[in-house]
Amino acid sequence: AQSVTQLGSHVSVSEGALVLLRCNYSSSVPPYLFWYVQYPNQGLQLLLKYTSAATLVKGINGFEAEFKKSETSFHLTKPSAHMSDAAEYFCAVSTSTGRRALTFGSGTRLQVQP
Amino acid sequence: DAGVTQSPTHLIKTRGQQVTLRCSPKSGHDTVSWYQQALGQGPQFIFQYYEEEERQRGNFPDRFSGHQFPNYSSELNVNALLLGDSALYLCASSLTPDTQYFGPGTRLTVL
């Protein structure tokens, strides 16, 4: 079985500041890791994914994440926050043994202050 | 290229009723997964369909059932609705069990 823990249900940053959203996972087999973003009253949009290739993954809208096996982490970062980044962010894990069914964290709401 | 589409957008039902939600996958995708997202929570996996069969199921009761058609579209049926079934229901499609792409969801309210 796998699980995801997202530290911090709410994160607030100033426009132009670094964004860091934390995700730790638990998996008994090699994981696939994902970050999705959800804007109000919308579905989930894939930001980036790790599928056992490069450990530093670049995604859309300037986001990136680094897979650290020793720390079982997959934190999401963006060097400079923009007002349009305000949304809910979900980290998710899946495995090849589970037909890639996603297990999600509880989400982190990102606020960007002007 | 049309992405994943879902219908209806919103739905209001009363306790005890039955509901059917529909999903059309992204072009070229053959696998459909359904998730339930309660307010303020992350999505939870309900089940996955591939080749018109349920291939994997999450921790949901038998009141939740589904179907996949030859054109890969899918339906989610929920019987004997409870207040706790109120949620956003998300459909995701993929090419075989691979990266999943989500639709906009159907907001179900049970009164």
Query: pLDDT digit string (tens) for A45-101?
Result: 999 999 877 889 999 999 999 999 999 999 999 999 999 999 999 999 988 776 688
Q: What is the pLDDT of residue A2?
A: 87
* Torsion angle in degrees (nearest 10) through CA of B4, B5, B11, B16: -60
3-state secondary structure (DSSP) of residue A83: helix
Minimum CA–CA partner of B41 in chain A? A106
> Count of CB contacts below 8 A, A vs B?
59
The pLDDT assigned to A54 comes to: 83
Query: Is the per-residue pLDDT at B37 higher than 70?
Result: yes
What tokens does B12 get? 């209001």
pLDDT at position A1 is 80
pLDDT for B96: 64
Confidence of residue B90 (pLDDT cuts 50, 70, 90): very high
Distance (Å, whole) CA B100 – CA B111? 31
Residues of B with CB under 8 A from a CB of A: 4, 6, 33, 35, 41-45, 48, 50, 55-56, 58, 90, 92, 94, 97-105, 107
Chain centroid, CA A42 distance in Å: 17
Look at residue B3 in the predicted model and tell me its pLDDT: 92
By C-alpha distance, the chain B residue nearest A104 is: B42
Band the pLDDT of A27: cuts 50, 70, 90.
confident
Work out the minimum CA distance from B33 to partner chain A, whole angstroms: 8
Query: Quick one: pLDDT at residue A98?
Result: 62
What is the C-alpha to C-alpha distance for residues B88 and B43, in angstroms, rounded to an integer?
9
Q: What is the mean pLDDT of chain A?
A: 93
Let me know: does B12 contact B86? Beta carbons within 8 Å: no
Q: Quick one: average pLDDT of B2-9?
A: 93
Let me know: does A47 contact A35? Beta carbons within 8 Å: yes
Dihedral of alpha carbons B1, B32, B35, B88, sign = positive
pLDDT digits (tens, 9 = 90+) for B92-105: 999 866 789 999 99
Q: Is the pLDDT of residue A39 over 90?
A: yes
